[in-house]
């Protein structure tokens, strides 16, 4: 019997989504007789509680401790199911590394690189992987406001994005000059760096990339179809959302599909990712493919694309998860 830590919550903007993903993973592991799962939520005030509501602590020796009973359980493996900080920016991974506790997902450095939209773009450039035209700002001052103005004047339709946020938090579509400065002001409230991208008139596609039995696999592209054009946090998770998804995107030529899969695997290898990631793409009307973002711990909610695309690719999520745990412990 292996003791599995399933860590969720975190207190960030995606706290509630993390809980939904954790439930999916918890329910999956509950069907395995080999595991005792400790689902621990980091509350917004920083306390930790398990699935039964008991306060607990994580100790540097890779243990979970219960103050009320003084019980100690040695942990064998961890799943950092936290979307956004501190789960996707390398902090939790660094803690697990210090504990000597094996865990699901990419390491601290790759997490930090991919969570920051600016550093992701710089790495994609260095790896010669096509991505959207952009500039980035590291300070909100007159010089950078002028740079943003010049970029807007050049393209007339842009996205302004807080560099270190997920689920479209701190992202603003700007196609009128009067919205430019306000959007920059708001974006800098969420992050020390701000990315500005040329808007792409394109389909939004996703590929699940994951390791299974020593091989890197890439699923067929799936598609997010958003009638409102901008896939906001609300569009992703609201029950009233009109957005829908296709596990296999329709009318994608084989050549384009293969190109996307090759790019996804190249990014996975080049950025030294591990276990799993979701790579998001733009496919323009003239057949150009750009990587948009890399999500190092994709959503695992009932409507999330990652596990569905994996299973459509021939690998059951339960079998995959079991394989990772067994090979890591």
**Dist. CA 103–CA 115, nearest whole Å:** 18
Which pLDDT tens digit goes with each residue over 151-187? 999 999 999 999 998 757 899 999 999 999 999 999 9
**Dist. CA 112–CA 90, nearest whole Å:** 5
Cα torsion 18, 19, 23, 29: sign: positive
Tokens of 241: 């959302």
Query: Which pLDDT value is given to residue 226?
Result: 75
**Dist. CA 256–CA 314, nearest whole Å:** 21
The enclosing H or E element of 218 equals strand 215-218
Query: Which pLDDT value is given to residue 165?
Result: 82
pTM for the full model?
0.90
**Dist. CA 56–CA 64, nearest whole Å:** 7
The SS3 call for residue 240 is coil
**Dist. CA 155–CA 240, nearest whole Å:** 32
Q: Looking at the predicted structure, is the pLDDT value of residue 113 above 60?
A: yes
Q: Name which of 17-26, 126-135, 239-248, 308-317 the model is least confident about.
A: 239-248
H helices within 164-303, ranges in order? 180-190, 233-237, 254-270
Domain with CATH 3.30.1490.20 in the chain: 134-198
| Fold of the domain spanning 2-103 | Rossmann fold (3.40.50)
Which pLDDT tens digit goes with each residue over 200-236? 999 999 999 999 999 999 999 999 887 665 545 455 5
CATH of domain 113-130+201-328: 3.30.470.20
Angle value at C-alpha 27, between 325 and 307, nearest 5 degrees: 70
Query: Which pLDDT value is given to residue 166?
Result: 73
CATH level 2 (architecture), domain 134-198: 2-Layer Sandwich (3.30)
Domain with CATH 3.30.470.20 in the chain: 113-130+201-328
Tokens of 30: 């509950």
Residue 118's closest CA among 294, 281, 299, 289?
Answer: 294
Angle between helices 108-115 and 91-99 (to 10 degrees): 180
Domain with CATH 3.40.50.20 in the chain: 2-103
Residue 115 Ramachandran class (φ > 0 left, ψ -120 to 50 alpha, else beta): alpha
Q: Looking at the predicted structure, is the pLDDT value of residue 293 above 70?
A: yes
């Amino acid at each position: 019997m292996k003791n599995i830590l399933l860590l969720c919550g975190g207190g960030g903007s995606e706290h509630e989504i993390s809980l939904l993903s954790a439930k999916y993973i918890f329910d999956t592991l509950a069907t395995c007789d080999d595991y005792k799962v400790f689902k621990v939520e980091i509350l917004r005030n920083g306390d930790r509680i398990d699935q039964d509501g008991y306060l607990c602590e994580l100790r540097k020796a890779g243990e979970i401790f219960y103050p009320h009973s003084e019980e100690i359980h040695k942990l064998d493996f961890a799943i950092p199911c936290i979307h956004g900080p501190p789960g996707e920016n390398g902090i939790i991974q660094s803690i697990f590394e210090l504990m000597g506790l094996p865990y699901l997902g990419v390491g601290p450095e790759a997490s930090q690189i991919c969570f920051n939209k600016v550093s992701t773009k710089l790495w994609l450039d260095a790896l010669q992987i096509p991505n959207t035209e952009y500039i980035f700002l590291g300070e909100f001052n007159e010089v950078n406001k002028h740079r943003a103005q010049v970029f807007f004047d050049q393209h007339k339709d842009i996205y302004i994005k807080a560099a270190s946020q997920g689920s479209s938090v701190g992202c603003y579509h700007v196609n009128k000059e009067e919205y430019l400065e306000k959007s920059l002001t708001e974006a800098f409230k969420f992050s020390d760096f701000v990315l500005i991208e040329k808007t792409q008139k394109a389909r939004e596609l996703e590929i699940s990339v994951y390791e299974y039995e020593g091989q890197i696999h890439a699923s067929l592209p799936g598609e997010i179809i958003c009638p409102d054009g901008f896939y906001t946090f609300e569009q992703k998770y609201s029950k009233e959302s009109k957005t829908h998804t296709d596990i296999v995107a329709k009318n994608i030529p084989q050549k384009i599909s293969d190109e996307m899969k090759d790019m996804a695997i190249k990014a996975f290898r080049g950025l030294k990712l591990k276990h799993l990631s979701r790579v998001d793409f733009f496919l323009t009307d003239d057949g150009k493919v750009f990587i948009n973002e890399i999500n190092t711990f994709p959503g695992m909610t009932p409507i999330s694309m990652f596990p569905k695309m994996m299973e459509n690719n021939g690998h059951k999520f339960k079998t995959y998860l079991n394989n990772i745990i067994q090979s890591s412990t």
